[in-house]
Amino acid sequence: MNLTLPSLGWDDTLRAAYQRHDKRGQRPGRVARVDRGICTVLTAGGTVRASLSGRMLGDLAADPLSGPCAGDWVVVRQWPDDRTTLEAVLPRRTSIVRAGASKSATGQMIATNIDTIAVVEPLDPDPDPGRIERLMTLAWDSGATPILLLTKADAVGDPAALALSFADAAPGVPIIPVSTVTGEGLDVIAEHVPPGRTLALVGPSGAGKSSLVNALAGAEVMVTRTLRADGRGRHTTSYRALVPIPDGGVILDTPGLRSVGLFDRTPGEGDGLTRAFADVEDLVAACRYSDCRHETEPGCAVREALELGVLSARRYDNWRKLQRELEFERRRVDARSRQAQKAKARQRQAAVRRREM
């Protein structure tokens, strides 16, 4: 099995974006991983390790999210002295950002250019619908198409019935019971990742993500052998980050992706929550008052659905909780960007004063 650029997702849009970078010594590639500023990039000519160009470093200082990240399509440049630098990041189709855990206002780019994002939840022990909803919010926000994988289907009596009972937690999303023991559902997952497409798995530790990656990759040994054949086999681990599915696309699997939480992609939008809770949003739209707080107001469609049991109290409570979390995150991000703006203004004033002296 050969890893070609098209099998990794290289297409006409990317080709067009690459055009202005198309010079001698430069070529496109896809980032498999980033370790302390060194990027492992898969190119048509093999795997290369690239450091950031001066301009990329400058861009990065101005906007931390502009830096290369696993999944990015990039331009690398080969220098006569055999150094390789990363010159540019091509436009991203989708991205997963983790809310800035500490100082940053912008958050951290975790993975990009994902087409299908699988929320992975085990059927055994009991699945947690709240966790599914949380990750669905993240999945919708990324711009990729979510699917829900209920793993360890072999460990429960009636996986199909169980899957149905979780339909509420993920409206509008394909729900696929899978087992790496019996192989159930693996072909269905593969259908969601045709050649050129990228799949990412998110879910709790122990949900069975590694087992799924191995089962989907199937021909893991073959991949390793191909790597050795091109003489650059020493970076085999890099392929753990972008794993090809035979006759299909690739799986992007990074440690960062495995531990994502909720985040706020674009301050002021929170679109993922709206989509993950499309049913609740529909109810809200049907409330008599547009500023309904769904407490004691007459004509409240949300309360009515709760009383009728159409909407579960659990799901409703989780929706409110995630809303509060996003609101908190948004305020935090706003405060940080205000601080950053003030700091910039002070720097500018100081510069002006220096010139005037």
Ligand X SMILES: Nc1nc2c(ncn2[C@@H]2O[C@H](COP(=O)(O)OP(=O)(O)OP(=O)(O)O)[C@@H](O)[C@H]2O)c(=O)[nH]1
Contact of residue 300 among Zn ion, ligand X, none (CB under 5-8 Å per partner type): Zn ion
Q: Which stretch binds ligand X (CB under 6 A): 9-17, 32-40, 152-160, 237-245?
A: 152-160
By CB under 6 A, is residue 208 in contact with ligand X? Answer: yes
Angle at 195 between CA 192 and CA 201, to 5 degrees: 45
By CB under 6 A, is residue 254 in contact with ligand X? Answer: no
By CB under 6 A, is residue 220 in contact with ligand X? Answer: no
224 is in an annotated binding site: no
Q: Least separation, in Å, of the C-beta of 162 and ligand X?
A: 14
Dihedral of the CA atoms 79, 85, 90, 94 (nearest 10)?
Answer: 150
Distances from the Cα of 130 to the Cα of 28, 85, 98, 162, angstroms: 41, 43, 19, 15
Alpha carbons 332 and 353: distance in angstroms, whole number: 32
By CB under 6 A, is residue 151 in contact with ligand X? Answer: yes
Q: Which stretch binds ligand X (CB under 6 A): 20-28, 35-43, 133-141, 151-159?
A: 151-159
Contact of residue 294 among ligand X, Zn ion, none (CB under 5-8 Å per partner type): Zn ion
Report the SS3 class of residue 262: coil
Contact characters 82-121, ligand X, x per CB under 6 A: ----------------------------------------
Q: Which stretch binds ligand X (CB under 6 A): 18-26, 148-156, 168-176, 228-236?
A: 148-156
Residue of 59, 128, 154, 271 that binds ligand X (CB under 6 A): 154
45 is in an annotated binding site: no
Q: Which stretch binds ligand X (CB under 6 A): 8-16, 61-69, 203-211, 227-235?
A: 203-211
Per-position DSSP letters for 201-219, written without gaps between them: EE--TTSSHHHHHHHHH--
Q: Least separation, in Å, of the C-beta of 311 and Zn ion?
A: 11
204 is in an annotated binding site: yes
Alpha carbons 308 and 39: distance in angstroms, whole number: 54
CB–CB of 160/177 below 8 Å? yes
Alpha carbons 161 and 173: distance in angstroms, whole number: 16
- Residues forming contacts to Zn ion in the complex (CB under 5 A) are 287, 292, 294, 300, 302
Alpha carbons 106 and 113: distance in angstroms, whole number: 19
Contact of residue 302 among Zn ion, ligand X, none (CB under 5-8 Å per partner type): Zn ion
Q: Exposed, middle or buried: residue 234 (CB in 10 Å: 0-12, 13-18, 19+)?
A: exposed
Q: Least separation, in Å, of the C-beta of 168 and Zn ion?
A: 19
Alpha carbons 38 and 84: distance in angstroms, whole number: 10
Cis ω before 298 (30° cut-off from 0): no
Write out the binding residues for Zn(2+).
Answer: 287, 292, 294, 300
Which residues of the shown chain bind ligand X in the complex (CB under 6 A)? 151-152, 154-155, 179-181, 205-211, 258
Write out the binding residues.
Answer: 151-154, 203-211, 287, 292, 294, 300
